[in-house]
Amino acid sequence: MTDISFKNWTAMSDAALMETIGKFVQHHRLKQNKSQADVALAAGMSRSTLSLLERGQKINLGSLIQVLRVLDLLFVMDAFTVSESISPIAYAKLQKNKKQRARSKNTNQNPESEW
């Protein structure tokens, strides 16, 4: 699980995706040398619920988040970050409306001004 792999996520079935998530959680739990009982207790769930997760069975989304928190794996939430982007056309319109140069506030064109 530590190597960089490229999977066709859209081609995978829901069951295969859940199994992948379960293996991810199990891998990191074992890497941290934590038992199912310890992680389940810290996450506020039963050991059998954690076992279901690790086997790729359906569980509550809140339970998954709690397990990720206990295992310090919330970095995976970065994949769900939504960033606002602007289209090139909208950007060009914004740039067009920007001031291109400063205008003189002195409307007096008298050469004998305060200089």
What pLDDT sits at residue 83?
A: 84
List Cβ neighbours of 26 (8 Å cut-off, separation of 6 or more): 54
pLDDT above 70: residue 80: yes
Between residues 42 and 83, the one the model is more confident about:
42
- pLDDT tens digit sequence for 6-19: 788 899 999 999 99
Q: Where are the domains of the chain?
A: 9-97
Name the nearest CA neighbour of 54 among 30, 28, 19. 19
Name the nearest CA neighbour of 25 among 67, 59, 80. 67
Q: Are 106 and 113 in contact (CB under 8 A)?
A: yes
List Cβ neighbours of 52 (8 Å cut-off, separation of 6 or more): 58, 59
Q: Angle at Cα 79 formed by Cα 6 and Cα 27, nearest 5°?
A: 65
Q: Which CATH class is domain 9-97?
A: mainly alpha
Joined together, the tokens standing for residue 57 give 């069975």
Measured CA distances, 105 to 52, 102, 108, 112 (Å): 72, 9, 9, 17
Work out the mean pLDDT of the chain and round it to a whole number: 87
